[in-house]
Structure 1
Amino acid sequence: MSSARTSLGRTVAAHAVLIAYTVIALFPVFVILINSLKTRKAIFGDPLALPLGKSFDLVGYQTVMKQGDFVLYFQNSMTVTVASLFFVLLFGAMAAFALSEYRFRGNTLMGLYLALGIMIPIRLGTVAILEMMVASGLVNTLTALILVYTAQGLPLSVFILSEFMKSVSNDLKNAGRIDGLSEYAIFFRLVLPLVRPAMATVAVFTMIPIWNDLWFPLILASAEQTKTVTLGAQVFIGQFQNDWNALLAALSLAIVPVLVLYLIFSRQLIRGITVGAVK
């Protein structure tokens, strides 16, 4: 009984800490949202006040809708983010399964090699990546961004998922082999459902840098038809003056898909973070 109460207390504490961190993290989002609905004078006069009365103004959203094709920018960002997440989770889970399930000479070195991407930023290879994309004819295509972001997210995915897959029962996998299941069936039908919390955690930590990235869209996909929403918002930033109303409105709209994806993965994310608290 005491151990059950201790586990319950740890779970409640972990959830409380996560909720507190969520509130703190969402406060800047709240500030951006309320300021996107205010006049320029109200933004700088009282940035924490609610958009009520004369301070309320939708000029920022009106400017966003008139200047630039932000619907296309959102479609590009969503396509790149979802496709990259799919490939990161698929290939990362397959590599993690191979490293955790099969023992071979160089297994540890292979794991360290795959984890090097966590310590070495992919931006250091920007020049080489650009040359490769030019040679492949992929400049100003969404495919170029998907390939880069997939390579960027794989190291973290392999590092996290391999540790979770090591905890999957060997008896369960051996029972599947005895029943005649192939290795692919064991991977997709037995292992993946058990590591969904870890995959949701990887998805959350991977999608934010992809959605908010400006570097690679500016270098690899700066054409009008391939702009992402982050790159498209730069049109409101000038050398001498910024259109803060439109910029905050664009950022507010850009936050919505991220929040939706976060809510989709949130339940599994909480399970992935608190899994060690109930042991």
Structure 2
Amino acid sequence: MTSTLARPRTPKAPPPEPARTSSPRRRTRAGLGTRIGVQAVLWIYAAIAFGPILLVLLGSLRPTNEILQNPIALPTSFDLSNYVRAWESASLGTYFLNSVFITICSVALCVTVSVAAAFVITRRVFRGRAFLAAFFIAGLMVPAKLGLLPIYYMFQAGGLVDTHLGLILLYAASGIPFTMFVLMGFMRGLPVELEEAARLDGANDGRIFWSVILPLVRPALAVVTIFQFAPTWNDFFYPLVLLRDTDKYTIPVGLTQFFGEYSADRGTLFAGLIIALLPLALVFAFASKQIMSGLTAGISK
């Protein structure tokens, strides 16, 4: 018999320790602490951002002598005489209506042209389509204010200086590149089967555009409308350069004269600021849901 040597037994490794997991109560406390911290930061930011606006709003409802005695006190009564004085005596009503007319017309023209052009470029195949899309988007790389001198000479030759029509055309043209960029990106994500189904039902291009495409791009239209409304309403540069008659001034330019004339009348001055701010506040308040749905519309695609 042959004897065999016994192999040495290797010690077994100890079983791995189970991973330590935090208890549900500890995770709940951590999540609650994070939410409280985030909400505290947001409330502090809101107080810093809206605090001055609230002081101006309260000051617009108080007479000037009360504001000078205690600038941060609450109004004893809601007096609207400052708004009446700012609207009528300071001609802010004229400037306000000029801004409303110019802003609405320019935004409507810009969005109308852009959505029709975006539909043709993204949903139809033709020669030069890529060049035409690049031509529109190239406007984002060139600030319009750099071409002020050629624009002024062109407007002077066409009789558009000191006219609201000139400002409307200028604002609409300068807003088309950004509007086209947003709408073309949105329309490229729409399924082609919707158009094919509509065409099988006998719909032509106009019917497809009006009944199929426009309802689908409504969130994007809301986004570009708001993003064109705000800079057009707040623009100070072009009205200052292109307008001569004070009765044609927009509200940003009219506020400069208003500040010089009513710098001592704090109540009327605050009322004028609230009048200039009110349209933007209302637009963003009522369209915030459309803005969020438009900005997140492409996530689910």
TM-score w.r.t. structure 1 length? 0.79
- 1:89 maps onto 2:111 in alignment: yes
Q: 1:35 to 1:116 in 2, by over 3 A?
A: farther
Q: 1:158 to 1:44 in 2, by over 3 A?
A: farther
What SS does structure 2 have at the residue aligned with 1:52?
coil
Aligned twin of 2:57? 33
User: Which of 129, 134, 144 lines up with 1:112 in the alignment?
Assistant: 134
Aligned twin of 2:153? 131
Using the alignment, how far apart are the partners of 1:244 and 1:155 within structure 2?
41
Aligned twin of 1:52? 75
Q: 1:106 to 1:225 in 2, by over 3 A?
A: same
Q: How far apart are 1:228 and its partner, in Å?
A: 1.2
Query: Comparing 82-91 with 34-43, which one deviates more in the overlay?
Result: 34-43
The answer to whether the 8 Å contact 2:115/2:183 transfers is yes
Q: How far apart are 1:35 and its partner, in Å?
A: 3.6
Aligned length: 260
Opposite residue 176 of structure 2, the aligned amino acid is: L
Using the alignment, how far apart are the partners of 1:244 and 1:125 within structure 2?
39
Aligned twin of 1:160? 182
Q: 1:23 to 1:164 in 2, by over 3 A?
A: farther
**Gap regions ≥5 residues in structure 1:** 1-12
Give 1 or 2 for the bigger CA radius of gyration.
2
Query: Comparing 131-140 with 203-212, which one deviates more in the overlay?
Result: 131-140
Q: 1:33 to 1:116 in 2, by over 3 A?
A: farther
Using the alignment, how far apart are the partners of 2:283 and 2:294 within structure 1?
16
User: Which of 151, 174, 197 lines up with 2:196 in the alignment?
Assistant: 174
The answer to whether the 8 Å contact 1:96/1:158 transfers is yes
Q: 1:253 to 1:172 in 2, by over 3 A?
A: same
What SS does structure 2 have at the residue aligned with 1:237?
helix
Residues 70-120 of structure 1 deviation map (CA, whole Å, 9 limit, x = unaligned): 222221111111111111111111111122112344433332321222232
Q: 1:109 to 1:40 in 2, by over 3 A?
A: farther
Residues 222-244 of structure 1 deviation map (CA, whole Å, 9 limit, x = unaligned): 313311122111113349x6765
Aligned twin of 2:235? 213
Aligned twin of 2:255? 233
Using the alignment, how far apart are the partners of 2:152 and 2:285 within structure 1?
35
Q: 1:208 to 1:45 in 2, by over 3 A?
A: farther
Aligned twin of 1:224? 246
Q: 1:44 to 1:127 in 2, by over 3 A?
A: farther
User: Which of 254, 262, 271 lines up with 2:284 in the alignment?
Assistant: 262
Using the alignment, how far apart are the partners of 1:28 and 1:194 within structure 2?
40
Q: How far apart are 1:277 and its partner, in Å?
A: 5.0
Using the alignment, how far apart are the partners of 2:173 and 2:196 within structure 1?
32
Opposite residue 153 of structure 1, the aligned amino acid is: G
Aligned twin of 2:166? 144
TM-score w.r.t. structure 2 length? 0.74
What SS does structure 2 have at the residue aligned with 1:51?
coil
Q: 1:170 to 1:232 in 2, by over 3 A?
A: same
Percent of matched pairs sharing the same residue? 33
